[in-house]
Chain A
């Protein structure tokens, strides 16, 4: 196997790889990632998006991925592999590149059907978390509680602070905002609102509660002409245990239905039992699951605190 910088791929080869990946997301999940992959291909051609292709002996791509840096966090953008050997080599290569530039964290989302990736991430010391992908028809959602309103552009700058406080005490492994810094939450909102890797942001199907300091939000994107996606639900700690999360989800699904989207989907962390119960009670059912992987850097490899009287080494 041979490594190739994906920015040197001929346009036809890259377009074919992205089209193949797009077909997977569409046929398995109903996602239309064509607009996102157009942005990816444009950025690739401009040299702004690094990526790796593992080529088999016959020269054909056996695995590929592109990755991006948001601040100091390296995110593996999308990943595909035909064999476990190619998948493992691909992951090792990207992680080595991220280590070389002293990234503060590396995050990845592994979709089903990428052999070798989760195994290699585990071997490299990543924390792994299963995220369930749930779906529900929107037909049954017809409530919009009085305390909830549609999101407006002026709310967007307040979202990072809401997410930061909503996730402050969470223990789940998340590939986004891995260190929980303000800059990371801003990058997260930017990804959600301004890029098309998780559908097109629908401000008029997204809802919030509270004043300028938001108490809660449920943000919706459109994954295709018929599918809405609940890309983020958050409730501030002081506004919890009043059923606000449930009312936000119901209002967002109702707004999505009113905009002609017949199905709504979402990801939930496998260890977030409270949220899983909520979605189960609202009629969401599981379809498939993904693996999210995170490794924060630099990580202490060996603690020599005892031997040196307080000093430790970091790799």
Chain B
């Protein structure tokens, strides 16, 4: 059976400036309510309270 690590699909990025542009675009477009985004949001909620500690 297929067991191993669960990796994301390979995305070939050859030029650093294109890669950087994708990063910026992704940070800007955080409005898609997909499962992953909701997961990410809840993850932030889990992590945030801890930041208030010294």
Contacts and interface: CB of A to CB of B under 8 A. Distances in A.
A72 B19 CA distance: 28
Interface in B18-54: 19, 22-23, 26-27, 34-36, 38-40, 42-47, 50, 53
Contacts of A2: 50, 53
A4 B48 CA distance: 9
Interface SS, B side: helix
Contact of A199 (B4, B6, B26): B4
B6 A197 contact: yes
Interface residues of B, number: 31
Contacts of A194: 9-10
B2 A68 contact: no
Interface of A: 2-5, 31, 33, 35-37, 39-40, 42-43, 45-50, 52, 67-72, 74-78, 93, 96-98, 100-101, 103, 109, 131, 174-176, 188, 190-192, 194-199, 219, 231-232, 266-269, 290, 292
B4 A39 contact: no
Interface centre among B1, B13, B43 (most CB of A within 10 A): B1
A244 B7 CA distance: 31
Given A50-B40, A69-B36, A97-B46, 19 more contacts: A33-B5, A36-B7, A39-B7, A39-B11, A48-B36, A52-B43, A72-B35, A96-B46, A97-B43, A100-B45, A101-B38, A131-B1, A191-B7, A192-B2, A195-B7, A195-B8, A196-B7, A232-B1, A232-B2
Interface centre among A71, A100, A174 (most CB of B within 10 A): A100
B44 A5 contact: yes
B1 A269 contact: yes
Contacts of A67: 6, 39
19 contacts: A3-B50, A36-B7, A37-B7, A39-B7, A40-B5, A50-B43, A67-B6, A67-B39, A68-B8, A70-B6, A97-B43, A100-B45, A109-B3, A131-B1, A174-B1, A176-B2, A191-B2, A231-B1, A267-B3
Contacts of A48: 8, 26, 36
Contact of A198 (B3, B27, B43): B3
A268 B34 CA distance: 33
Nearest to A219: B2
A177 to B, nearest CB: 10
